[in-house]
Amino acid sequence: MKNYVYTFGNGHAEGDGSMKNLLGGKGANLAEMARIGLPVPAGFTITTECCNDYFSSNGRFPDSLEAQVKSAMAETEALMGIRFGDPDNPLLVSCRSGARSSMPGMMETVLNVGLTEQTIPGLIQKTKNPRFVYDAYRRLIMMFADVVMEKAENIEAEEGKDIRCRLERIMEDMKVSKGYQGDTDFSADDLKELTRLFKTRIYEVLGTEFPDDPQQQLWQGIGAVFKSWNGKRAVSFRRIENIPDDWGTAVTVQSMVFGNMGDTSATGVAFTRNPGTGENKFYGEWLPNAQGEDVVAGIRTPNPLNNDTKTEQNRHLPSLEEAMPKVYGELVQVRSILEHQNRDMQDLEFTIQENNLYMLQTRDGRRTGMAALNMAMDMLEEGLIDKRTAVLRVSPAQLDEMLHPLIDPKAEKKIKPVAVGLPAGPGGASGQIVFTSVDAVQWARDGKSVILVREETNPEDVEGMRAATAILTARGGMTSHAALVARGWGKCCVVGAGTLQIDVKEKKLAINGNTYTEGDIFTVNGTRGAVYEGALPMISASENPRLKEYMEIVDRFRKINIRTNAETADDARMAKDFGAEGIGLFRTEHMFYGKGAEEPLFLLRKLILNKSIKERQATIEELFPHIKEDIRQTLEIMDEFPVTIRLLDPPLHEFVPRSKENQVKLAEALCVDRQTIVTRSNKLRESNPMMGHRGVRIGITYPEISEMQIRAIFEAAAELISAGRHPLPEIMVPVTCDVRELDVIKIIVERTYESVIKRFGIEKIDYKYGTMIEIPRAALLSHEMARTAEFFSYGTNDLTQMTFGFSRDDIGGFMEAYIDKNILAKDPFQTIDMKGVGRLIKDSVERGRQVRPDLKIGICGEHGGDPESVQFCCLSGFNYVSCSPYRIPIARLAAAQAAVMAEKEAQSTEIRFV
Amino acid sequence: MKNYVYTFGNGHAEGDGSMKNLLGGKGANLAEMARIGLPVPAGFTITTECCNDYFSSNGRFPDSLEAQVKSAMAETEALMGIRFGDPDNPLLVSCRSGARSSMPGMMETVLNVGLTEQTIPGLIQKTKNPRFVYDAYRRLIMMFADVVMEKAENIEAEEGKDIRCRLERIMEDMKVSKGYQGDTDFSADDLKELTRLFKTRIYEVLGTEFPDDPQQQLWQGIGAVFKSWNGKRAVSFRRIENIPDDWGTAVTVQSMVFGNMGDTSATGVAFTRNPGTGENKFYGEWLPNAQGEDVVAGIRTPNPLNNDTKTEQNRHLPSLEEAMPKVYGELVQVRSILEHQNRDMQDLEFTIQENNLYMLQTRDGRRTGMAALNMAMDMLEEGLIDKRTAVLRVSPAQLDEMLHPLIDPKAEKKIKPVAVGLPAGPGGASGQIVFTSVDAVQWARDGKSVILVREETNPEDVEGMRAATAILTARGGMTSHAALVARGWGKCCVVGAGTLQIDVKEKKLAINGNTYTEGDIFTVNGTRGAVYEGALPMISASENPRLKEYMEIVDRFRKINIRTNAETADDARMAKDFGAEGIGLFRTEHMFYGKGAEEPLFLLRKLILNKSIKERQATIEELFPHIKEDIRQTLEIMDEFPVTIRLLDPPLHEFVPRSKENQVKLAEALCVDRQTIVTRSNKLRESNPMMGHRGVRIGITYPEISEMQIRAIFEAAAELISAGRHPLPEIMVPVTCDVRELDVIKIIVERTYESVIKRFGIEKIDYKYGTMIEIPRAALLSHEMARTAEFFSYGTNDLTQMTFGFSRDDIGGFMEAYIDKNILAKDPFQTIDMKGVGRLIKDSVERGRQVRPDLKIGICGEHGGDPESVQFCCLSGFNYVSCSPYRIPIARLAAAQAAVMAEKEAQSTEIRFV
């Protein structure tokens, strides 16, 4: 019989902190806290395995579960000294979700389970607080109707007509009719009346009765939490965060403690260090006489935890340190124990019930990139973690965030913010304001930069938040939903900007009497919490000495080289600054695009439309100096570093003139009429240019073009050698499918090499000759390709296109559906498809190395800057990855992390891959 | 030390008939003939291995060769009783090429080697015939200058300025100045003078002296034959015939015998059976007082071999039977010996020197398809061969030829031919006349059907002959170059139509006073030797009972099924007649093309442009009956046979209306304006439609379309079952790249199946669910695909496109260069690329079967009708191949041959592949 249930409480636990996969993060950490003697309300966790079994038997609980829960509940009752469903002294419990990794707010929770008409009198008797009891009952009914009776049953309601809205409207009506200001004005009788009205409405709308029975509440609650794993929000979050569907959620059933039992009760959230900056100060928020959800939901602006961390915005509010100094002292001790136990910054949830502290949760806290960096370096210095751990502590996405632009401080100084709030997500961003998640997604899809402005955000908003450049909310604190999510994604975010008056219906925003409409441009400073009208100038992340130090540690663990894809002298210079150790892709055709390209482009056009070899040769002589100079500059900057120069790749028709003016100009130069140009151009058109006359196919049919490029490379190198430099060109042939293509071009390479060497009177040029592997056949025949190629550079963009038969330009029509329907876990153009394309690459590397053991292997597709793909390359034996200059630090970090993780894996088991 | 030289002569030989790979066909057969005591002039053969060694050491003879040749020459001298280079009684030799398989006229030969100013007096002394000797010397010099001194040295001359033309012009000039009619008018002195003039001219033009030394002539001759293996013609022939470059040629050095030593001498060519019809009659041609080349070159119209085979055209000429009855008798004996020895029709070359018969060559004779069939059946009946051999005796190309059209005999009876000649290649063909090989290639490339009209053809013409629909020559016999080549390719051909007066320069043709110009249309009957003006109606190859009988034998050996690609009731019916055992590809979209498609196409367009699912559902209901009826018809015809129905494949934009009229019509039906239609259509356009939104990708994004098609299939089947039939539909999902796609569609299949079964009240429908494998990733992940797919059908067209990254529509720009430069041996769209695509398929089949051992495997690309590809499929474990109806007999034969060859291989060794 499977053990589905693990109990905890009173200094003991069946589970422990290492069992996150089975008990979820929350369950494992509660067990651990109980085990080390922290004050945890007793309870038990139902495993993720049970969740999976529940789904695989179409929503039936395993047979053995009932007995196990019964027994665990008995243990909990014994520890708490009260009984679940006991009319005289009832135990209430919560049913909470908890997955392997944190999915804040994505799944459901039901509180106050076990409160019924039968148990109410006993609880009133015990608490002497009928208002509290009926408020708890009111909350239970609302939550239960929403989570268990509606959402878990997949009942879809129109907007504003879901059960929660309907019940809220009843409360609102009563408030109005009685002239109350807020929820706290409700009397016990009012709340009792509300619960009666709620039950009637629930039956009217949903057609079933609210179950006024503790066991029914418990089991339906457990089921609803399981079901919320497959709720729309959770699934969409998993897609974004790449969490597998089969992890499942655990359910923790835990004794309720109440932060809303009067002024000696409170609830709060704390971080053992500042999650925004990394500063080693205890940091948090609390609310007196409140339940936990009140803090997180951002409905009331919470108080600061201690005096040390008060800000301008909350200086006037009482800290826990001031209000409950004894309990605060206990909490400080808990902070220290948990941080040393977990050797990482912890995110804590606590409740104070009548001056008693209870810990409800601890977990590794989310943090900004800057905080991650500072904490890693601090903890390293404190001796809390070692270097390897430090390397793993900053995720590539967090590093990316640190490299994000900031508002130019000079410009910012000159302008006053229109609003201020809490600095919840780092960096600066400008964009057009929108007021709904749907609009944010839509506008972003149209290529616009948008700032999502919301009263407060909730899990329904995640897709819009993802799409937005920045997030701005009027309410909520640093632990509100918006802040948590933005921080996790490293997204610029300001929360709790209280002067914002938002009218979603009219799509208008008023700040201090000024009105703005949808589409107006704002700039947000998420590092300082400021909001500005209009677009402010940005600067790139300043040189951070701590980051430099960190990257030096990182580089010590990295085992592969990082190169860059660069094709101008400027790119090459910048890439070197970012740490590039060579160029993995220099596209020779770039010089025909962009500014300054007019002359060479005109010559190339002439070349393409020349009819005879003789004419082409003449044009080639005109074009040659441009090509050589272009290559020479980059070789010079990258002196001593390898530069992989790719021969002409795009199909020739990409270059033919489309405008009448250019056609006429070209016709004149070629002494033909314009119609001839048009005809010739049309002849070059292709049905599927991606698979057309391009790459080496041009080299084969127009060997004079290959020869010119090869000559340019060798002459550029020879000139530099003559000037005492040491260029390392690598000639790369694109779009090959057979080694014979390489053989044919190699003849030109060798002939040209000999002639250049002789003409320049130099001894040699250190060059390599190799190919891109971007056609499936080339990958399949790597053992042949490697006979001639000294290096392979995987062109994973095209390789992915051909292997999937997906034209990257045309996937718009179906890629979304493929991800939504879980046909593909990820867009294979973002992260290498390990199963298909990855397998092809791994086999190809092996087969190539069998023929040529020192075959140099690299990647120059855009995947070279994707952390997961970099990790794949590290484990597949690559010598280097090449990515755009801005992605270099990320690739460096990803490569180092791959090496550290591989070391760890190697210690425990053999490395398996895909 | 390698043995490079094998001697033969006088009833003995070091080699034998089985050593074709080493000695070439000619050398092996000469050895065999000598061994069994036939009269073969003594000599020796230098091996193909020596040829390869010669090339791999850049044209140097192996060191040991000289001694081996010396010793072999000594043996030859001993057998012939005369010595090479002996001034008193010189031995003359020929140096002839000989590859593993026959390459008629593609390589070089030098005759009369050893004749010099020194040896001439001795030979005159011996022959008492100074004219013969100087004629032989004249021939040697011309041939040597052309073959050895010019071609082998890679000297390129402009047309008409090559050394042979220049020397011929000297002869011509002398003929004119002396008033001679023909070559036979030259006196010994004339010929002597000619040799002097030749030598001077050679030195002037080529800058080197003609080597008047026997040893120099010999070694240069051997080298020139080797070099001719890599001559332009030979290489181009190898490309067409798929002969590997590394086979190499042998060189046979053989004592000269002379057919031109007066009227008791002769030369001839014979076939042991009629190569045009297969009739079991000795058949051939001869010329008195001539050298071998005179017969083959078609310069003189030759005499018939015997009385029995005289035709209307040559009835007046003397047969060898009449002219030299004794020698003819000997030849008849040789015929019988060689045919029994080789168990196949032989092509013989013989020379009669002063009433002595010498055999110069025997080889398996080329034949027409009809002849191949008749010979195979005759020899089977005669007990000469067994059934397995008979199956191998007709090549798929020969079978193809028999399936070629014939001129409608009724139409032919009513019209008189404008010219008659010899029936050299089978079938009938109409086309436009052209006069050069270059034009034939060019016109054919432009899609025209052409008849190549030549005075006579020579190896330079092969490409034009290949491109032409038919070949017509004014001169030459049944063994002329044109006849040999045409027969080999099964191409319609008439030779020796003497009334043709051809003016190549003016591109004009005169026949009996009528003038025709390039582009005029003729019809050629290659089976009867007749030529007609204009285009005559054609009929398909009549039902040949012998062919039926042969195909029945063939089918007994075949191990896989042959299905057809058919999508109309007519196609299906015809395919069944051709022997189809099911349909491998029924493309559901065909019904939207062609006539009768207006209504369904309009509905499909409406469907594509409908915006909401609701609208689409309504259109689907309108479209549904068309789709169902279409499928029902084909299932009915193919009752009891499986029919693989492919769900919608092409991208939707292929269907949107382009014409204004259709756009307006559609706009009206949809109640939108035309601009909306245009905009929507433009949105559907794709950059690379081959890799766009098509196949299952449409099924995933528009599940209602999949559902309609699936419902149509099941309802059609259910209706037939209700009517007592037994349909076997197979539902095939196209363009898949992941098993999840199959899973998603399978849900629709199962749901629809259940509902149809229930509605029709039938027990079950025997159906299968499977996929095309046409995307590389699907092939790579076959072990996953096979979890859901019950069958795989390889779509080798698309799989080849994606694996190579070749868009079939766009290869025009480079495929020719790829074949020319030997980058690819063949166009991979004609024959499966065994190395790349084939390997992918083989692995995929294995991985699929590991998961599902009874996985049904087929092919539905056009390769299904290509004999080599069919063979590949047989050896890779396919259950069936599917091809167009006309290719079915060819696929049946190819499959049977593969099975027979596999059996043979299995007996000798394990089957290796690729």
- Spatial distance between the Cα atoms of A858 and A845, rounded to a whole number of angstroms: 10
Confidence of residue B773 (pLDDT cuts 50, 70, 90): very high
Give the residue from chain B lying closest to A816, CA to CA: B701
Of the two residues B375 and A426, the one the predictor is more confident about is B375
Percent of all residues in chain A with a pLDDT value above 90, rounded to a whole number: 66
Give the strands of the sheet with B768-773, arranged side by side. Answer: B856-859, B791-794, B768-773, B728-733, B642-646, B583-587, B561-565, B880-883
Strands (E), A36-122: 43-46, 83-84, 90-91, 93-99, 109-113
Reduced to 3 states (helix: H, G, I; strand: E, B; else coil), residue B263 is: coil
Q: According to the 3-state scheme, what is the secondary structure of A359-381?
A: EEEEEECCCCHHHHHHHHHHHHH
pLDDT tens readout for residues B93-152 = 999 999 998 787 788 899 999 999 999 999 999 888 899 999 999 999 999 999 999 988
Q: According to the 3-state scheme, what is the secondary structure of A320-341?
A: HHHHCHHHHHHHHHHHHHHHHH
Please list every residue in chain B whose beta carbon sits closer than 8 Å to the beta carbon of residue A795.
Answer: none
DSSP per-residue letters across A499-534: TEEEETTTTEEEETTEEEETT-EEEEETTTTEEEES
Reduced to 3 states (helix: H, G, I; strand: E, B; else coil), residue B371 is: helix
CA distances from B674 to A346, B452, B613 (A): 62, 52, 21
Confidence of residue B736 (pLDDT cuts 50, 70, 90): very high
The count of CB pairs under 8 A between chains A and B is 168
Q: For residue A172, give both structure tokens.
A: 């609102």
pLDDT tens readout for residues A30-66 = 999 999 999 999 999 999 999 999 999 989 999 999 9
- Spatial distance between the Cα atoms of A50 and A580, rounded to a whole number of angstroms: 49
Residue B871 buriedness (CB in 10 A; 0-12 / 13-18 / 19+): buried
- Spatial distance between the Cα atoms of A23 and A3, rounded to a whole number of angstroms: 11
Confidence of residue A424 (pLDDT cuts 50, 70, 90): confident
Nearest-CA neighbor of A837 among A856, A855, A824, A820?
A: A824
Phi and psi of B474, rounded to 5°? Answer: -85, -25
The torsion angle over the Cα atoms of residues B413, B415, B418 and B422, rounded to 10 degrees, is -10
- pLDDT of A262 > 50? The answer is yes
Strand-pairing partners, residue B521, are B432
Nearest-CA neighbor of A31 among A46, A50, A44?
A: A44
Please list every residue in chain A whose beta carbon sits closer than 8 Å to the beta carbon of residue B740.
Answer: 821-824
Mutation site, A705, A742, A814, interface B, largest B CB count within 10 A: A814
Percent of all residues in chain B with a pLDDT value above 90, rounded to a whole number: 66
Compare CB distances from B814 to A700, A813, A837 and report the shortest one's residue.
Answer: A700
Please list every residue in chain B whose beta carbon sits closer than 8 Å to the beta carbon of residue A700.
Answer: 814, 817-818, 821, 823
Helices B660-670, B674-684: inter-axial angle, 10-degree rounding: 110
The predicted structure's pLDDT at residue A553 = 97
Respond yes or no: is residue A737 known to be catalytic: no
- pLDDT of B595 > 60? The answer is no
Residue A691 and residue B798: Cβ atoms within 8 Å? no
β-strand A249-255 against B642-646: which pairing, if any? unpaired
pLDDT tens readout for residues A387-406 = 999 999 999 988 987 877 77
- Spatial distance between the Cα atoms of A23 and A99, rounded to a whole number of angstroms: 8
- Spatial distance between the Cα atoms of B583 and B575, rounded to a whole number of angstroms: 9
Would an 8 Å CB–CB cutoff place A412 in contact with chain B?
no
Would an 8 Å CB–CB cutoff place B624 in contact with chain A?
no
For range A227-245, the mean pLDDT: 84
Least reliable range by pLDDT among A475-479, B11-15, B533-537:
A475-479
- Spatial distance between the Cα atoms of A70 and A84, rounded to a whole number of angstroms: 10
Amino acid present at A847: R
CA B738 to chain A, closest CA, distance in angstroms equals: 7
Contact present, A91 and A114 (Cβ < 8 Å): yes
Mutation site, B810, B819, B822, B842, interface A, largest A CB count within 10 A: B810
Q: For residue B714, give both structure tokens.
A: 């099941």
Would an 8 Å CB–CB cutoff place B746 in contact with chain A?
no
The predicted structure's pLDDT at residue B659 = 81
Phi and psi of A253, rounded to 5°? Answer: -105, 115
The predicted structure's pLDDT at residue B298 = 60
**Contacts of A902 by beta carbon, 8 Å cutoff, 6+ apart:** A874, A875, A911
Phi and psi of B350, rounded to 5°? Answer: -140, 160
Confidence of residue B229 (pLDDT cuts 50, 70, 90): very high
CA distances from B613 to A867, B617, B670, B702 (A): 40, 6, 14, 9
**For residue B271, what is the enclosing H or E element?**
strand B266-271
The predicted structure's pLDDT at residue A543 = 64
Contact present, B5 and B42 (Cβ < 8 Å): no
Give the residue from chain A lying closest to B683, CA to CA: A813
pLDDT tens readout for residues B650-672 = 888 888 887 888 888 888 888 88
Nearest-CA neighbor of A40 among A225, A222, A257, A321?
A: A257
Helices A796-804, B796-804: inter-axial angle, 10-degree rounding: 180
B519 backbone φψ class: left, alpha, beta (φ>0; ψ -120 to 50)? left
Residue A801 and residue B738: Cβ atoms within 8 Å? no
- pLDDT of A158 > 90? The answer is no
Respond yes or no: is residue B860 known to be catalytic: yes
CB-based burial, A633-660: b 16+ in 10 Å, e otherwise: ebbbbbeebbbbbbbbbbbbbebbbeee
The predicted structure's pLDDT at residue A594 = 60
Helices B613-637, B703-722: inter-axial angle, 10-degree rounding: 40
- pLDDT of B296 > 80? The answer is no
**Contacts of B668 by beta carbon, 8 Å cutoff, 6+ apart:** none
In chain A, positions 766-785, which contact chain B (CB-CB < 8 Å)?
A: 774-777, 780-781
Catalytic residue among B860, B873, B874, B883: B860
Please list every residue in chain B whose beta carbon sits closer than 8 Å to the beta carbon of residue A821.
Answer: 700, 740, 744
Would an 8 Å CB–CB cutoff place B839 in contact with chain A?
yes
Residue A805 and residue B689: Cβ atoms within 8 Å? no
Please list every residue in chain B whose beta carbon sits closer than 8 Å to the beta carbon of residue A649.
Answer: none
Give the residue from chain A lying closest to B781, CA to CA: A836
Confidence of residue A904 (pLDDT cuts 50, 70, 90): confident
Nearest-CA neighbor of A20 among A133, A112, A99?
A: A99
- pLDDT of A130 > 80? The answer is yes
Residue A56 buriedness (CB in 10 A; 0-12 / 13-18 / 19+): exposed
Please list every residue in chain A whose beta carbon sits closer than 8 Å to the beta carbon of residue B802.
Answer: 691, 776, 802-803, 805
What's the maximum distance between 2 C-alpha atoms anywhere in chain A? 105
Strands (E), B766-806: 768-773, 791-794
B872 backbone φψ class: left, alpha, beta (φ>0; ψ -120 to 50)? alpha
The predicted structure's pLDDT at residue B353 = 92
Model pTM score? 0.79
The per-residue pLDDT of chain B, averaged, comes to 91
Nearest-CA neighbor of B795 among B776, B821, B819?
A: B776
Q: What is the CA radius of gyration of chain A?
A: 32
Confidence of residue A299 (pLDDT cuts 50, 70, 90): low
**Contacts of A281 by beta carbon, 8 Å cutoff, 6+ apart:** A273, A274, A308, A309
Nearest-CA neighbor of B338 among B317, B357, B313, B364?
A: B364
Number of Cα atoms under 13 Å in the Cβ half of residue B814: 28
Please name the residue ranges forming H helices in B761-789: 776-780, 782-788
**Contacts of B336 by beta carbon, 8 Å cutoff, 6+ apart:** none
Amino acid present at A393: R
- Spatial distance between the Cα atoms of B874 and B895, rounded to a whole number of angstroms: 6
Phi and psi of A556, rounded to 5°? Answer: -65, -25
Mutation site, B780, B796, B816, B840, interface A, largest A CB count within 10 A: B780
